[in-house]
Amino acid sequence: MIKRRVGKRKAEETLVLLEQLPVEIIPVDARLVKEAAEIKSDYAVSYADAFCIATGQRYNGQVFTNDPEFELVRHLINVIWLTDK
pLDDT of 3: 79
Please state the pTM of the whole predicted model: 0.74
Residue 11 has pLDDT above 90, yes or no: no
Q: What distance in Å separates the CA atoms of residue 12 and residue 70, rounded to the nearest whole number?
A: 29
pLDDT of 23: 82
Percentage of the chain with pLDDT > 90?
67
Q: Kindly provide the b/e burial profile for residues 33-63, where b requires at least 16 CB atoms within 10 angstroms of the residue's own CB.
A: eebbeebbeeeebeeebbbbbbbbbeeeeeb
Q: What distance in Å separates the CA atoms of residue 15 and residue 58, rounded to the nearest whole number?
A: 25
Q: What distance in Å separates the CA atoms of residue 71 and residue 78, rounded to the nearest whole number?
A: 11
